[in-house]
Amino acid sequence: MRSIFYGLAVAAILISPAFCEAQTGKLRAGAAKVDVSPTKNMLPMKAGQVYADVHDPLYARALVLDNGATKVALISVDTASLPNSDEVVKALSAELGIPASHLTLDATHDHNTPTFGGGGRGGNYDPAPYLALLKNGIVQAAREANAHLQPARIGFGTGKAYINTNRDEKIGEHYGMGYAPEGPTDKTVAVIEVTNPSGDPIAVWSNYAVHGVVMFLSKTHDGEAEITGDIGGATSNYVEDRLKNNVVAIWTPGAAGDQNPLFMSTYNQDAPDVHDEGAAGWAILDVQARRLGEEVVRVTKSIQNTTDHVVLWGAGTTVTCPGRKRATPAAAPVAPTNNSGSPTSLQSGPTKMVDGDPVDIPLNLVMINDIALASVSGEVFSEIGQHVKRDSLFDKTVMVTLSPGRIGYIPTDKAYQLPAAMAVNNNLKPGCAEPAIVGGFKELETQYLPIWKAAN
């Protein structure tokens, strides 16, 4: 163990060893997707979030890359978070014969899924059947992708899309969840294209910083909500429809902790005049997914410099930051919460916070040549993601969030100072997370750099 000091903050960095010394080899790739939609009897009946039916399917999508020496797998799932993630990671590692550090496994952070929130109407909802279906579907997608390995080429590109906005809006004297287009935001669309030797697409992996909440809380069928893949699922479906060839389009969330879609089916959620577009919300979802999907397709078609030789590598680390917790004295008002238990505004003022247990934040870095996929367990604010990319040793760096673990929101220090809604009762003390995450990925990149140089 080494202790690295970031100003007044201390972060303990535990570097896991690389699985094996990376080698350059000819690329083979395979991709697959598996329907992980709940059956009718698996639909949660939660107070405040009851699902009438499945509007559009949920999927687990997987891409496996193999260079003859080792493999990496890039997997995304249409779900809010990754419950039982340790079990899923262990099963994937066993299925593919690779260490956990060679996986990127990410939830699309879709809020209209059975894994959003907790409990049930009357406390009688049992999530176990759906969680078993979800785990089996994720492993099946990886298994099928691995079974379909074929000679391939890979390339990387970026573009811009304008369907997200910072959501920390100043409302009166406080900051609440709203619409703040002048706030920090990242419009980058990152794309990895994998084709066969003839140039036909096998898979397209994309990343963009936006919450999966276009249809959140919207009552679209018989006065109730419906299961949907939301912005991530709709974008993937659009890309697959446009590119044809049975391509698998894997969408992942970037640093979207403070980023909402430009338009949502429900709005004024914290006000007494909350409005719901209802079934008209599907058009709101469609137009934004098309805008994002069009840019993914445009970038995909513009990628020219592809290669059939790759170095594949992965390593993990954990950064530890000081924690805090609610003091909950009788005189301290508590901020209102949404269905996830997160505060939605500061209308009642912040809770008093006191020292709490340290918080471990898992990080993982998967390298595909000079493409750096920096995965974080948590909902990272936009400026931290931009900081990681700015300080990276590699130009093709992408932050991927909502990986295994349940860290919650990871705000910037600026967000605590506002204070932003998601910083008010956050269990991380300010001053540590941003430099620790940036430094943790820098350490991992430093391990890989000589391997990449030796291969070139």
The DSSP code sequence of 323-335 is EEEE---TTS---
Question: CB neighbours (10 Å) of residue 417?
Answer: 11
| CB 110 within 8 Å of CB 261 | no
Question: In the structure, what pLDDT confidence band is assigned to residue 50 with cuts at 50, 70 and 90?
Answer: confident
127 CB-near residues (< 8 Å, 6+ apart): 44, 83, 114, 115
Mean pLDDT score across all residues of the chain: 88
Joined together, the tokens standing for residue 351 give: 């809770």
pLDDT at res. 271: 64
pLDDT at res. 274: 79
pLDDT at res. 272: 65
Find, among 301, 276, 293, the residue nearest to 163 by Cα. Answer: 293
Q: Among the listed ranges 16-30, 266-280, 282-296, which one has the minimum average pLDDT value?
A: 16-30
Cα-flanking dihedrals φ and ψ of residue 344, to 5°? -100, -15
Checking if the pLDDT of 339 tops 80, the result is no
pLDDT at res. 446: 98
Joined together, the tokens standing for residue 8 give: 């007044």
Residue 305's alpha-carbon distances to 151, 295, 308, in angstroms, are 17, 18, 10
Provide the number of structural domains found in the chain.
1
Residue 357's Cβ-count burial label (10 Å; 0-12, 13-18, 19+) is: exposed
pLDDT (tens digit per residue) in 187-198 = 999 999 999 999
Checking if the pLDDT of 343 tops 60, the result is no
pLDDT at res. 340: 37
Q: Which structural domain range is residue 146 located in?
A: 2-455
pTM value is: 0.91
pLDDT at res. 173: 82
203-225 average pLDDT score: 95
pLDDT at res. 177: 85
Residue 328's Cβ-count burial label (10 Å; 0-12, 13-18, 19+) is: exposed
Question: CB neighbours (10 Å) of residue 245?
Answer: 10
Helix locations, 244-354, DSSP H = 281-302
272 CB-near residues (< 8 Å, 6+ apart): none
Question: In the structure, what pLDDT confidence band is assigned to residue 57 with cuts at 50, 70 and 90?
Answer: very high
pLDDT (tens digit per residue) in 380-404 = 999 999 999 999 999 999 999 999 9
Cα-flanking dihedrals φ and ψ of residue 151, to 5°? -55, 140
pLDDT (tens digit per residue) in 79-94 = 999 988 999 999 999 9
pLDDT at res. 349: 52
276-300 average pLDDT score: 97
Higher pLDDT, 429 or 18: 429
Residue 161's Cβ-count burial label (10 Å; 0-12, 13-18, 19+) is: buried
- Sign of the C-alpha dihedral computed for residues 252, 206, 367 and 430 taken in this order: negative
Residue 2's Cβ-count burial label (10 Å; 0-12, 13-18, 19+) is: exposed
**Hey, is 28 helix, strand or coil?**
strand
Question: In the structure, what pLDDT confidence band is assigned to residue 331 with cuts at 50, 70 and 90?
Answer: very low
**Hey, is 184 helix, strand or coil?**
coil
